[in-house]
Amino acid sequence: MSSNQTINSLTTFYGVFGSPISHSRSPLMLNRAFQENGINAAYAAFHIEQGTLKAAIDGIRALRFRGVNVTIPYKVEVMSYLDEIDEGARVIGAVNTIVNENGKLIGYNTDGIGYVRSLCEETGISLQGKRVLLLGAGGAGRGIAYALAKAGAEIVWVSNRTESKANELVSYISLLTEAKYIAAEAIAGIIDKVDLVVNNTSLGMYPNINEIPLDPSLLHDKLVVSDIIYTPMETLFLKEARARGAKTHGGLGMFIYQGAYAFEYWTGQNAPIQAMREIVLQSLTE
């Protein structure tokens, strides 16, 4: 909505479903995007209690919401209640964006593509033939691993505290490119062959800002080191990497671009990336 518009009977509604949700910066970012592009729309955060997700999804149809983002802990469960799931989201096994096409709900996953777009734009890396070390095999890891493999990564090593969870991710990435589990103590043996290290764990996230997912003495100046955390903007892991001459990439871009792709799926318009980044940055520094 432009600044002189208010919500009226022609306003299109959007939202984000999650639990907890009060910390979400998505309403700030998406409302700014609608305003920037002059779209009469409003986006809000909805706290969905456990056991009520199906009713909430039915509500999208009943209330004619055009689209919804889905966040923790519902990205997997939500798949059961949709009419169609995009190939990427189906392979990843998680949905974070729903588009309502006249009552038909289609699920997408914009986490991985948002991550890769941000990584390439901010670091200039070309992923074709690159060797990747993925730290952590959690939910975001699936989308990121899928997008990295699709973008041409030659091999993905996965390190995770629980080996079985890492192997689950490895078997899934192996359908797209070479993938191997690597124990934490074996990383020193391969780190010289690695081009990109991605922290996909919550180690180093506020308030635990002194935690680090990898022994910093292993980092070197031939690496691109990426962290999906954006609170703080520069984690201890990224500081240590930068001090050793590595190129670094923080998590803010992934958050912005996953929202930008959702905006583009919903509206068919190019997302106003700069305005979206500005308002999120402003909220993080306040």
Q: Is 206 flagged in the annotation as binding?
A: no
Q: Is 26 flagged in the annotation as binding?
A: yes
The per-residue DSSP string of 16-78 comes to EEESS-TT--HHHHHHHHHHHTT--EEEEEEE--TT-HHHHHHHHHHHT-SEEEE-TT-TTGG
Q: From the candidates 54, 75, 239, 247, which is the catalytic residue?
A: 75
Q: Is 140 flagged in the annotation as binding?
A: yes
Q: Is 69 flagged in the annotation as binding?
A: no
CB count, 10 Å around CB of 162?
9
Q: Is 136 flagged in the annotation as binding?
A: yes
Q: Is 96 flagged in the annotation as binding?
A: yes
Q: Is 128 flagged in the annotation as binding?
A: no
Q: Is 138 flagged in the annotation as binding?
A: yes
Q: Is 217 flagged in the annotation as binding?
A: no
The CA distance from 164 to 134, in Å, is 15
Query: DSSP H helical segments within the chain, as ranges?
Result: 26-36, 53-63, 87-92, 111-123, 139-150, 163-173, 187-190, 236-243, 252-267, 273-285
Catalytic residue flag (residue 130): no
The CA distance from 118 to 252, in Å, is 9
Binding residues for shikimate are 24-26, 71, 96, 111, 230, 258
Binding residues are 24-26, 71, 87, 96, 111, 136-140, 160-165, 228, 230, 251, 258
Binding residues for NADP(+) are 87, 136-140, 160-165, 228, 251
Residues assigned a catalytic role: 75
